[in-house]
Amino acid sequence: MTYLFNNPTKFADELIEGYVAAHRNQLRLVEGGVIRSHKAKPGQVVLVIGGGSGHYPAFGGFVGQGLAHGAALGNVFAAPSAQQICNVAQAVDAGGGILFCYGNYAGDVLNFNQAQERLRAMGIDVRTVVITDDIASATLIEKNKRRGIAGTLPVFKAAAVAADTEKSLDEVFRIATDANDRVRTLGVAFSGCTLPGANKPLFEVATGMMEVGMGIHGEPGLYRINAPTADGLAEMLVNKLLAEIPSAILNPDAARIGVILNGLGTVKYEELFVVYRQVDRLLFERGLTIVQPVVGELITSFDMAGLSLTLFWINDELEQTWIAAADTPAFYRSNIAYSNIGTLEASSYRNKRSLETGSPNSQSAAAIVFLALKAASKVINEMSEELGRLDAIAGDGDHGIGMQRGITAAVAAAKEARVARTGVGTLLKAAGDAWSDRAGGTSGALWGIILHNLGDALGDKITPDASAVAVGIASALRDVINRGKAQLGDKTLVDVLHPFSAALTTTASQGLSIVDSWAIATDIANEAAQATKNLRPRIGRARPHAEQSLGTPDPGAISLALIIRAIEKTLNHL
């Protein structure tokens, strides 16, 4: 879907104008396209690229230092006219000849060839390298019929670096041709795209399916399959690309390659990184050395969901052009060296709590708390989907997963504490730290606070009584309110913790045992959790659907009540 436009027929003109307005320090607008704001050196070759609009950053985004000198920009998905191309070419011509470089599409070939003829008739030396990297669009025997997609970038870079180092037009042509011979791309798509002003997609891919080899204007691909996982897609792309290694490569198992993982529009950077993680591993396993990978949007198709993987088999000469610095509005490369040799290793600065032995009485209490935590964990695991469902109504649906993650870590930490024979206070605090660390978010932090306060109140020496427990829970409540900023009635776990704490305090002051005190408070907590269905969340908290949640209890309140109930059952079965 394209949401923002004025008159759809003026969309391309207006986007180019806005683009140049945003980059006045680097670009100049000319009729037909954009050029670098700084002139080329007299006598040098210049690089002119171009194509239809709707593929940003291709092609206007690639004008600037280290890349193109000018780009001719057509209408949406339409080639620029020969006149536009001539105009851009004449604006950047520095007297050393011009290299045209663009993707292999009928309209672009037609117009660039006409422009080439006209410029040659004016006495300007023009050569052309048409980019043909898309392995899905024709067989290797007909490589010159293949379309050009994200492999344009390494070819542009090769040509630009050669031109800016004042090589002759013959040399620039040779290097760009060599780059094109060594680049291979394969793309996949999960959806089509909708042009400005259109009320339906230009083309579509059925939900849950993936088309392999679809072109950036929706040109038919090779076949459609069920959409794979991120890792599955990485494997498919790597395998298919490695099945066609350019003939110039002598030892494909120890080669150096540039890699591009290109997003086609609405596949997000987060997804690209998940896929790249596996691409990186697979290429490393093959013994290939990755040189300066690029993960991002380089040639798009409006809001098409899809991506392409490009392998660029470099030699010494092309390694230099590939790693060379560039500074254009859409592509920047500094000259910090990159290497994928070795594996990623996360450093940890974790300050481990030393697990001191507790008193025998406190160890006994720790044993009971450990059982209670395990029981709570069991309930949370069973109820995780339901908690997620409740959370999806007012929040982002991850409450069940977050609770599972937290309580699982808490039980593991409690187990370690048991092995170290700690008191109940240390066990609770270790469990709380693990919970908040692993779960993160608001609920992880709050559960860490609750267990910490309880741990502090019970300590590592005494046999806890109902009064110590009530003190611990009351202190947890205060801390949760202070740090979490939620008040009673805000539809959070405070709405359970508050009456639960009050009931514990009252029953403890009446001299009830822990078991009896906890049992009475448990019923009150569970009623309070259900009653949160009548509340609205306070405005301003991160709740997507505050209004819709009326009638549904708060998932944080429910999970607290579930855990309280699980502990009650543990106490009763002792």
Query: Which residues form the catalytic set?
Result: 217
Nearer Cβ to its own copies (52/96): 52
* Under 8 Å between Cβ of 176 and 162: yes
How open is the CA angle 166-172-174, to the nearest 5 degrees?
Answer: 145
Q: What's 99-141 look like in SS3?
A: EEEEECCHHHHHHHHHHHHHHHHCCCCEEEEEECCECCCCCHH
Least separation in angstroms between residue 466's CB and its own copies is: 29
Residues 178-207 within binding reach of its own copies (CB under 8 A): 190-192, 195-196, 198, 202-203
Is position 265 an interface residue for its own copies (rule: CB under 8 A)? yes
Is position 350 an interface residue for its own copies (rule: CB under 8 A)? yes
Q: What is the DSSP string of 204-247?
A: ---TTEEEET--TT----SEEEE---HHHHHHHHHHHHHTS--T
Q: What is the DSSP string of 136-176?
A: TSS-GGGGGGS---TTHHHHHHHHHHHHHTT--HHHHHHHH
Show the site string, 271-290: x = touches its own copies by CB under 8 A, - = not: xxxxxxxx-x----------
The contacts of residue 40 (CB under 8 Å, 6+ apart) are 46, 69, 92, 94, 163, 164
Exactly one of 154, 402, 423, 459 binds its own copies (CB under 8 A); which one?
402
* Under 8 Å between Cβ of 314 and 288: no
Residues 411-440 within binding reach of its own copies (CB under 8 A): 433, 436-440
Least separation in angstroms between residue 532's CB and its own copies is: 17
Q: How many residues bind its own copies (CB under 8 A)?
A: 150
Nearer Cβ to its own copies (365/535): 535
Exactly one of 367, 397, 523, 569 binds its own copies (CB under 8 A); which one?
397
Is position 485 an interface residue for its own copies (rule: CB under 8 A)? yes
Is position 223 an interface residue for its own copies (rule: CB under 8 A)? no
Q: Which stretch binds its own copies (CB under 8 A): 111-119, 242-250, 416-424, 513-521?
A: 111-119
Exactly one of 225, 239, 254, 332 binds its own copies (CB under 8 A); which one?
332
Residues 364-383 within binding reach of its own copies (CB under 8 A): none
Least separation in angstroms between residue 512's CB and its own copies is: 33
Exactly one of 41, 78, 389, 550 binds its own copies (CB under 8 A); which one?
78
Q: Report the run of H or E that residue 433 belongs to, with start and end.
A: helix 424-439
Q: Which stretch binds its own copies (CB under 8 A): 239-247, 343-351, 375-383, 551-559?
A: 343-351
Q: Report the run of H or E that residue 71 belongs to, with start and end.
A: strand 70-76
The contacts of residue 350 (CB under 8 Å, 6+ apart) are none
Distance of CA 490 to the CA centre of its chain: 32
Residues 300-329 within binding reach of its own copies (CB under 8 A): 300, 302-303, 305, 307, 327
Exactly one of 445, 468, 514, 528 binds its own copies (CB under 8 A); which one?
445
Is position 62 an interface residue for its own copies (rule: CB under 8 A)? no
Q: Give the pairing type, strands 33-36 and 27-30.
A: antiparallel
